[in-house]
Amino acid sequence: MKTRLQLQGELVKADANVKRVYNNVFDVFRKTWKNEGIRGLQRGLFPAYIYQTLLNGSRLGFYEPVRHSVNKLAGYKPEESVFWTAIFAGSATGCIGATLGSPMFLIKARMQAYSPVLPVGAQHYYKNSWDALSTIVRSDGVTGLWRGVSAAILRTVCGSAVQLPSYNYCKDLLIQYQIFDPSSFWMYLTSASVSGVFVCAAMQPADTVLTRMYNQHTITDPVTGKVRGALYTNPFDCLWKTAKAEGIKGWYKGTTAHFLRIAPHTVITLVANELIGKEYKKYTGRG
């Protein structure tokens, strides 16, 4: 739903008298369910699973080791909560995860954008994830799987730089003012909820850029012979062209759908990470 809202009216002037296909996130849900059924709503689910595993496995798994290492290099205690080292660690691990997961996000975005009934944006039809993978490699080469990775890195850096630092900072405040017990489930839940709001706000423009760069058709440059995006050359080119044609509001298309996805995702991911981490420490005798 988010993908289709972000692609709707792509580079169409804000004052153009063009009828919208979808009015809001609930309208997308209703029309997709009516015309495409449950398969339409779950389109791109498999590559989404693989993407999340690669992205968050790297991002969350490397975060604490990187933060501790940077703290030591900067002369702080490894466990000490330092704002700038937390942002650096979040950004660095986000880059790793985004790069590893980029091919799966590319496939996911294109599969979710495709609609045989109410299409918006460029349309790419793939039978399944394997068909998408092989089709992209045949047409654009192996490097085509990482087309738009710069947008993926920008998006993930924006989110990672905010998500874990805001979560940990909120936890520290709740403990400092004795609002919740340090090991309380409600402390994890509250901190993760606050973090979800910040993540959505920080990521939204870059998320729209990522969707559009991944979904655009590719063309062969007549001069260089290289395959490139038909509409955008890089994330900042996409940001500029979107703002020029649609206004700044174009960056925030699909924000409600994005929040409805990222908020529960952030809560579940961070709370589960804490609880699993606690059990692991108990099991290894570190708790």
Q: What is the pLDDT of residues 163-174, one digit of tens each?
A: 888 999 999 999
Residue 174 vs residues 78, 179, 181, 274: alpha-carbon distances, Å: 21, 5, 8, 16
Return all residues near 219 (Cβ < 8 A) that are at least 6 apart.
Answer: 227, 228, 229, 230
pLDDT at residue number 195: 94
Residue 279 vs residues 67, 84, 285: alpha-carbon distances, Å: 22, 29, 10
Q: Is the pLDDT of residue 286 over 80?
A: no
pLDDT at residue number 287: 58
Beta bridge partners of 219: 228
CB 257 within 8 A of CB 25: yes
What value does the mean pLDDT take over residues 258-280? 89
Which residue would you say has higher pLDDT here, 184 or 245? Answer: 245
Q: What is the C-alpha separation between 189 and 90, in angstroms, rounded?
A: 20
pLDDT at residue number 224: 85
Least confident of 189-198, 256-265, 267-276, 277-286: 277-286
pLDDT at residue number 242: 97
Please report which confidence band the pLDDT of residue 15 belongs to, taking 50, 70 and 90 as the band edges: confident
Tokens of 199: 């993540």
Q: What is the pLDDT of residues 91-106, one digit of tens each?
A: 899 899 999 999 999 9
Task: Select from 221, 19, 45 the least CA-distant residue to 140.
Answer: 221
Please report which confidence band the pLDDT of residue 183 belongs to, taking 50, 70 and 90 as the band edges: confident
Q: Look at the block and give the residue holding tokens 């008298």.
A: 17
From the candidate CATH numbers 1.50.40.10, 2.40.70.10, 1.20.1070.10, 3.40.50.300, the one assigned to the domain spanning 2-284:
1.50.40.10
Q: What is the pLDDT of residues 94-148, one digit of tens each?
A: 899 999 999 999 999 999 999 999 999 999 999 999 999 999 999 999 999 999 9
What value does the mean pLDDT take over residues 49-59? 93
The mean pLDDT of the chain is 93
Q: What is the C-alpha separation between 90 and 42, in angstroms, rounded?
A: 30
Q: What is the C-alpha separation between 114 and 109, in angstroms, rounded?
A: 9
State what percent of residues in the chain have pLDDT above 90: 77
pLDDT at residue number 285: 75
Q: What is the C-alpha separation between 193 and 267, in angstroms, rounded?
A: 6
CB 206 within 8 A of CB 154: yes
Tokens of 157: 């850096």
Q: What is the pTM of this model?
A: 0.87
